[in-house]
Amino acid sequence: MNERVDKGTVLLIDDEQVVHQYIAKALVAASYKMLSAYSGAQGIRMIDEHKPDAILLDYMMPEMNGYEVYEQIVQHEDRSSIPTVILTAVDEKEEIKDELLKKGLSAYLEKPFGHRELINIIENIVVTNRIQLKNKQLHKAIKDTNDFLENLIHSSPDAIITLDMKGGITSFSSGAEKMFGFPAKDIVGSTFVNYLVAEPEFVDLWGELIIKNQIINYETEFLAAGERQIPVNFSLSMLKNKQNENIGVLAIGKDLSEIKKLERELIEKEKLALLMETTVAINHEINNPLTPVLGNIQLILDRQTELPDWVKTKLHVIEKNAWRIQQIVQKLNKITQPVRKKYCGETQMLDIERS
């Protein structure tokens, strides 16, 4: 027997006892915990104390109505991040609704409402809010990584190398020694181009350097100690004597290994952020039409005695697969790190079970 899954906590702020009883049955049946507050002031205190996953807020209440309560909710960052639905039995003015929606209200739900309608809205706002919080964390991580990249570029020691007019290495700084793993005494006197993976390309670049006197941000790979290939960004400038004659070349290189690694990580994080945004759309676009499909199937199956056996069999197959679709959507919502698997040939697909 499967254990009940706690989907979260919902705080109901409403002054009517019967409403609390009605909503509590629906929420508990759908595996949610419910907290009850019978006034706006009590509701605010319980929000701060319990930090619920969602708030159901009645609009028409004495002393402090739903509008006034929501004003207090959005004034505090910790409260405003909690998705809130206003329950109303009256047709409020559109400008009031628009104002509250602009302030961040998740939805309106007009009384009377059914259990399915209530749970569907709660499911949507809770799941969507959790995904949005994950996205904020991902965007912050991406920004932090970008900031780190900029700091890395400015603070990492450079490789400073000088060459003669034939391309021979005449000096090799300590930064270059650390970067490439060669002692200066072993590399001075050797030919610079022999350490470049893109040797033919650099030969053509050398002629351009003599004409332009400077080449900025030339990316290549340098053959380092241990047969490693290190991605490097070189800026090249002609060295001149007092007579303005070319006497050599100054090459300043930055190790791009960490940057390239972080760029790959950034791409993966951006893909994950996009995936999270996509799951919000999937949850909305699939769960909404799926709810009436399952509901109608169950209504038809309730009249099984009037149905032929082959019809009942077909309906059970449809119901089983509709539940399977819902389970897949729920799994997509829980993805934190995408895992790929082979699909066909070189084509890969998302492994939902392992992600």
The whole-number pLDDT of residue 247 equals 93
Q: How far apart are CA 279 and CA 263, in angstroms?
A: 24
The whole-number pLDDT of residue 90 equals 63
The whole-number pLDDT of residue 188 equals 93
Ranges under pLDDT 50 in the chain: 1-2, 152-154, 156
Q: How far apart are CA 355 and CA 275, in angstroms?
A: 12
The whole-number pLDDT of residue 319 equals 86
3-state DSSP call for residue 326?
helix
What is the value of pTM for the model shown?
Answer: 0.42
Apex 86 CA angle, 109 and 106, nearest 5: 85
Structure tokens at 108: 């309106």
CB neighbourhood size of 125 (10 A): 20
- Going by their DSSP bridges, the two strands 107-110 and 159-163 should be labelled as unpaired
Q: What is each CA distance from 329 to 117, 119, 239, 323, in whole angstroms? A: 19, 16, 63, 10
> CA neighbours within 13 Å on the CB side: how many for 252?
12
- Using CA of residue 22, residue 28, residue 29, residue 31, what is the dihedral sign? positive
Contact yes or no for 56/27 (Cβ under 8 A): no
Contact yes or no for 73/52 (Cβ under 8 A): no
Q: How far apart are CA 142 and CA 343, in angstroms?
A: 30
Query: What pLDDT digit, counting tens, does each position of 300-346 carry?
Result: 888 767 778 888 888 888 888 888 888 888 777 777 777 777 767 77
Using the structure block, give the residue that is written with the tokens 């945004």.
Answer: 277
3-state DSSP call for residue 31?
coil
**In terms of Cα–Cα distance, which of 84, 32, 94 is closest to 58?**
84
